């Protein structure tokens, strides 16, 4: 009995040491991947990297990680025009089948899915902010975006008719879609600018707009988009996504 008790104690100690070594190793790997990703994407701060699955050391031996989660705050994505960018408040991606080198200098995920959020204030920059003539004596411009409910964006349009600014913005509900690398906002119905007769194409030149979002980390791309409480939530996806190297 004494020998059995000693054997059990030794076994528990060995398991504990293995778990400790495994957790220390995964922590080191997470830091290394985060640092490589920060360097590759020129990030101001290291992203959050979480390597899932236990034990980690057996994954290391195989040279492939089953599941890696990456979170980046305030990512500056390319906005299409040279020198312009759009701030993504939160970018979270779940990477599957991450193949890596021994020193983590290169790491590539077989597939990735995730989400990116863009605030309404940031998306508003893509709309025409300066008053534009839409009919003789009538100018208008978009002054605000907010959640319209049921997956719609509420677009506030300010108008001036014959030199008199309308006392309140005109609101329209708009649909938002993702096409390729571009988020598009299109009014479901046209606004009424004080009864002025305005051609549809001139009205839509104000209400409808688009925002290109390119250069996401590792080559992930837009998949779909929907309106949310504080901004638009974008689903992203990719294959052969490079985390480092």
pTM beyond 0.85: the answer is no
Q: What does the pLDDT read at residue 25? A: 72
Q: What DSSP line would sit under the chain, residue for residue?
A: -HHHHHHHHHHHHHHHHHHHHHHHHHHHHHHHHHHHHHHHHT-SSPPEEEE-SS-HHHHHHHTEEEEEEEEEEEEEEE-SSTT-EEEEEEEEEEEEEEEE-TTSS-EEEEEEEEEEEEEHHHHGGGS--S-EEEETTEEEEEEEEEEEETTEEEEEEEEEETTEE-SS-EEEEEEEEEETTEEEEEESS---STT----HHHHHHHH-EEEE-B--GGG-EEEEEEE-SSEEEEEEEEEEEEEE-
**Per-residue pLDDT band at 1 (split at 50, 70, 90):** low
Q: What does the pLDDT read at residue 172? A: 93
Give the pLDDT mean for 159-168: 85
Say if residue 31's pLDDT is above 90: no
Percent of the chain beyond pLDDT 90? 29
Phi/psi at 91 (5° precision) = -125, 115
* Rounded alpha-carbon distances, angstroms, from residue 40 to 44, 60, 78, 217: 11, 22, 15, 9
Per-residue pLDDT tens digits for 206-240: 899 999 988 888 888 999 999 999 999 999 998 88
Q: What does the pLDDT read at residue 161? A: 84
Per-residue pLDDT tens digits for 49-103: 888 877 777 777 777 788 889 899 998 888 776 668 889 999 999 988 888 776 6
- Structural tokens at position 208: 């409808």
| Distance separating alpha carbons of residues 157 and 187, to the nearest angstrom | 11
């Amino acid at each position: 009995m004494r020998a059995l008790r000693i054997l059990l104690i030794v076994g528990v100690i060995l398991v504990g040491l293995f778990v400790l070594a495994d957790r220390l190793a995964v922590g080191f790997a997470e830091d290394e991947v985060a640092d490589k990703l920060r360097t590759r994407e020129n990030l101001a701060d290291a992203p959050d990297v979480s390597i899932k699955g236990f034990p980690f050391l057996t994954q290391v031996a195989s040279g492939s990680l089953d599941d890696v989660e990456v979170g980046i705050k305030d990512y500056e994505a390319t906005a299409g025009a040279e020198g312009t960018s759009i701030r993504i408040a939160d970018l979270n991606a779940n990477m599957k089948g991450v193949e890596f080198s021994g020193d983590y200098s290169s790491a590539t995920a077989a597939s990735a899915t995730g989400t990116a959020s863009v605030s309404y204030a940031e998306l508003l920059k893509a709309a025409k902010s300066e008053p534009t003539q839409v009919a003789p004596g009538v100018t208008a411009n978009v002054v605000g975006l907010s959640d319209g409910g049921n997956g719609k964006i509420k677009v506030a349009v300010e108008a001036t008719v014959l030199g008199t600014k309308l006392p309140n913005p005109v609101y329209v509900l708009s649909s938002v879609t993702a096409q390729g690398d571009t988020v598009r906002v299109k009014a479901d119905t046209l606004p009424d600018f004080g009864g002025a007769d305005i051609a549809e194409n001139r009205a839509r030149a104000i209400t409808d707009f688009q925002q290109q979002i390119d250069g996401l980390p590792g080559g992930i791309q837009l998949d779909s988009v929907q309106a949310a409480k504080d901004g638009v939530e974008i689903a992203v996806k990719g294959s052969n996504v490079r985390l480092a190297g």
